[in-house]
Amino acid sequence: MTVALLFPGQGTQHAAMLRWLEGDAAARAVLARLACELGDDWRRRVADLDWSLSNAVAQPLVTGVSVAAWCALAPRLPRVVAIAGYSVGELAACVAAGMLESGDALALAVRRAAAMDACADDEPAGLLALSDVDSEAVDAACARWSLEVAIRTGERRCIVGGAMRALAEAASHFDALGATATMLGVRVASHTHAMRAAVPALTQALALAHWRVPRVAWVSGITGAVVRDVAEVRRVLAAQVATTVRWDACMDAVAERRPDAVLEIGPGTTLARLWRERHPAIAVRSCDEFARAEQAAEWVATASSR
């Protein structure tokens, strides 16, 4: 039996996420560290969108709860054959791959958010998810409103980033074309050239962390390829904040490892839904769909044995 793991990015956090974490002893140390960063009342405050959607909160929050969920699930899962993280989810993916300790991942999430916030100008920015669109229409919209493709998620879907004013106009345009346009809960133009100034600061922070060689195949978000050299892992992690994420290629690279099942580890079900659309033959669920870690592990065992 084998399993592949996917770690989500910011915007997936919600007030009821992973309720079972507090009752799992293996997750307590990470949750305690998260409370030191965000306050003991972080769970209650997630419902306050002004707080929980801010970059400085969202990135360590998603990283912390994802790593805590991994700590709870790790002893219960079969052999892991591939790991990929979506945007800031790559930090939690590094923990699961054995490259980083949980404390280092959380500290890096804090530094990453600060470096990206320092790039922000006076005009609000964000991300817009598009589906049922062709590449020509996306390219035309990017040229018209000075947007960039931030994440490629499928053949007829992607996420674009830029100024909020421009994103709103583009959303109305795509709605009129019959496409689906959804503004995401992210307040910076992640994975676009607007974040270029964050790369040096993040490079420095990554160099100061303690790294080990990955124990399993870790797939880079911006290349869609397995990376085993730690120096290259650090390079792509830094570059990622200002580079298009090829999540479609990541999913394909994970599928090539032929896992028996795929488990999304972290809040929400976004990555499970994207996986199901692209690789329906390989069973997938999110651990956020279960009431206990044991239930998620039991599903993986059942799905892997089919």
Same-fold call for 2-119+196-304 versus 125-183: no
Whether 81 contacts 4, CB under 8 Å: yes
Mean pLDDT of 150-175: 96
pLDDT single digits (tens) 245-259: 999 999 999 999 999
Q: What is the pLDDT of residue 187?
A: 87
Q: What is the mean pLDDT of residues 165-182?
A: 95
Classify domain 125-183 at the CATH topology level.
Alpha-Beta Plaits (3.30.70)
pLDDT band at 193 (very low <50, low <70, confident <90, very high): very high
3-state class (DSSP) for residue 4: strand
**CATH number for domain 2-119+196-304, candidates 3.30.460.10, 3.40.50.1390, 3.40.366.10, 3.30.60.50:** 3.40.366.10
pLDDT in tens, 196-232: 999 999 999 999 999 999 999 999 999 999 999 999 9
Residue with tokens 């792509």: 236
Percent of the chain residues past pLDDT 70, beyond the cut: 99
Which residue's entry shows tokens 């059942």?
Answer: 302
pLDDT tens digits, residue range 31-48?
A: 999 999 999 999 999 999
CB neighbours of 179 closer than 8 A, spacing ≥ 6? 130, 131, 132, 133, 137
Residue with tokens 């992640």: 190
Helix spans in the chain (H): 28-38, 42-45, 49-52, 55-73, 89-96, 102-117, 135-145, 164-176, 198-208, 230-239, 247-256, 270-278, 293-304
Contacts of 111 (CB under 8 A, 6+ apart): 201, 202, 205
Amino acid 47: pLDDT: 92
Per-residue confidence (pLDDT) for residue 123, from 0 to 100: 83
Report residue 292: phi and psi, to 5°.
Answer: -145, 155
* Cβ atoms of 174 and 141 closer than 8 Å: yes
Per-residue confidence (pLDDT) for residue 10, from 0 to 100: 92
State how far the Cα of 146 lies from the Cα of 141, in Å rounded to an integer: 8
Q: Write down the pLDDT at residue 240.
A: 98
Residue 69 corresponds to which amino acid? Answer: A
* Confidence at residue 275, expressed as pLDDT on a 0 to 100 scale: 98
Ordered by start, the domain boundaries in the chain are 2-119+196-304, 125-183
Burial 131-164 (b: 16+ CB within 10 A, else e): bebeeebbeebbeebebbbbbbbeeebbbbbbbb
Question: Which residue bears the tokens 């390829």?
Answer: 225
